[in-house]
Structure 1
Amino acid sequence: MRIAICDDESAQQMLLQKYLTEWAQMSGTPLKSELFASAEAFSFTWEDDKDFDLLILDIEMGPLNGMDLAAHIRKDDEEIPILFVTGYEKYMAQGYEVSALHYLLKPIRKEKLFSLLDRLKEKNLRQEQRLLFQTEDGPISLPPSKIWYLEAQAHWCVLYTADREYTLHFSIGELERFLSGQPEFLRCHRSYLVNAGHICAILKTELVLDDNRRLPLSRSAQKKVNQAFIALHEDSVFRRAPHQ
């Protein structure tokens, strides 16, 4: 999940990013958050990159405020969820004009934000492409984000999710070819395929996943895994407004 936070108060930005990180860890959701210090800064990025899952916009920004930014975004995309944060209830009626997902009043309640994110994740999972696997107990259908890693065991493989495992009567090579259209899946070791979205840290000889499970990392795979991990997280940085 890729989320933009557009707020001209750095303390509010960091608080929202902290809450998003907590929710991602609790829910097992791969998440990238990007910070924008003004509506102009986000608008500059939006012109070339519209691949976001959620926009969190402060309203009281100037000279271009969050409501004006939302109206501009709606000209290009009528579906992307927009969440407003504001200290004033007077703006809530205007949100209907830009089909806002919701309002959060400052100070932001973490539980309220988590509830909204849970609902959005559930909706996205319903829409996400699913992969069909034949297991020893019958066929299963899973969205790619639910798959944490696959492990080769003798002549078959075990597929691991956050809380379950499935035995697949296929080799690791066959599954690697099957998942070749999903760039988040990487061969980190001759016996393992990992979903890069669930990697928390890369050590010298192993990977640490979000739930602290550890997978071996072969020397030959280090460069490719590092590059994929950096590419996945390189946008989670503070962005300044462009110079005029």
Structure 2
Amino acid sequence: MNVIICDDDQFFCQQLEDYVDAAFADFGQSYNCDVYYSGEELLAARKALEEPIQVYLLDIELPGIDGLSLAAEIRREDSQALIIFVTSHEEEMPRAFDVAAFHFIIKPLQPEKVLEVLKRAKEHFIRSKRTFQFIIRKRRYTLFAAEIAYFISQGRKVSIHTTSGKVYEYYGTLDEAEEQLGMSTFLRIHKSYLVNVDYFLRVESKKVIMQDGELLPISKRYHSAFHQNYRTQLLSI
């Protein structure tokens, strides 16, 4: 779980970060919170970020690029993250529908209200935003399952190919990935491939064509089980 706070008031940021830490403490080492004091600083930092962000807390009244414009920039590349606006002007709230805001926090902070909003975000994240976690060079990464197109296993390494085209490589096995996901939308088509059926363009007898144009083979070993499971998926839609 990766959280970003963006507000130009450093004291306020510290207050908000304390509430965020309290709300997400049970995520342990898989939780991280970073703070930025301007929209420009955040956008510049996002270009270098290797991990996706699950929750943004954005001040609407930022100097320079304001929170609504900042959220619009984020939405151009990320439709999955939860955006929570922080504002002292409730009249700005209707404009937030344009960027699919998750909720609001009103200034000055009311502890019960803040924790309620953060609790809702956490529950929403757990309930509807299933994630996959892996470790690269001792650092834990978190991806939404919906962001993963397919896994490829090569020896002791697994490559995650995301829907955005980014690729992550870590040490592990597909059996471990399949067990962690625990989702019927990820099916094995080969000993070396675990695929997200939601990212299929077309399915043929001996191969699947992904939305990025990649052709992945269905092996004899997995042929019958895959097609049966895939038909079950289609019937359940």
Q: TM-score, normalised by structure 2?
A: 0.51
Q: 1:36 to 1:105 in 2, by over 3 A?
A: same
Instruction: Assess if the C-alpha contact under 8 Å between 2:104 and 2:117 holds in 1.
Output: no
Aligned to 1:63: 64
Q: Distance in 2 between matches of 1:88 and 1:22?
A: 26
Task: Quote the offset at 1:18 in angstroms.
Answer: 1.1
Report deviation, 1:62: 1.5
Q: Find the counterpart in structure 1 of residue 137 from structure 2.
A: none
After TM superposition, the structure 1 = structure 2 runs for residues 122-201 of structure 1, keeping only pairs within 5 Å, are 122-126=123-127, 127-128=129-130
Q: Are 1:4 and 2:8 counterparts? A: no
Q: Could you say which residue in structure 2 is the equivalent of 1:33?
A: 33
Distance change in 2, residues 1:29/1:90 (3 Å)? same
CA 129–67 in structure 1, closer or farther in 2 if over 3 Å, else same: closer
Q: Is the 8 A contact 2:88 2:106 kept in 1?
A: yes
CA distance in 2, matches of 1:58, 1:67: 9
Number of the residue aligned with 1:13: 13
In structure 1, runs of 5+ residues without a counterpart are 131-143, 145-175, 182-244
Once residues 29 and 114 of structure 1 are traced to their aligned partners in structure 2, the CA distance between those partners, rounded to angstroms, is: 16
Cα distance change, pair 88–111 in 1 and its aligned pair in 2 (3 A): same
Deviation at 1:20, TM superposition (A): 1.4
Query: 1:171-221 CA deviation, whole Å, 9 max, x = no partner?
Result: xxxxx999976xxxxxxxxxxxxxxxxxxxxxxxxxxxxxxxxxxxxxxxx
Runs of 4+ in 1 over 4 A off after TM superposition: 176-181
Identity %: 28
Higher RCO, Cα 8 Å, sep 6+: 1
State the shift of 1:118 in Å: 2.0
Aligned-pair CA distance for 1:79: 2.3
Paired AA for residue 60 in structure 1: E
Paired with 1:125 and 1:61, the residues of 2 have a C-alpha distance of 30
Partner deviation per Cα, 1:122-142 (whole Å, 9 max, x = no partner): 232234359xxxxxxxxxxxx
Residues 24 and 122, structure 2, Cα contact 8 Å, conserved in 1: no
Q: What is the identity, as a one-letter code, of the residue corresponding to 2:38?
A: S
- Residue 46 of structure 1 aligns with which residue? 46
Residues in 2 aligned to 1:46 and 1:11: alpha-carbon distance in whole angstroms: 23
- Total equivalences in the alignment: 137
Contact 2:105 2:117 (C-alpha < 8 Å) held by counterparts: no
CA distance in 1, matches of 2:61, 2:53: 22
Corresponding letter in the other structure for 2:22: E
CA RMSD in angstroms, aligned pairs only: 2.8
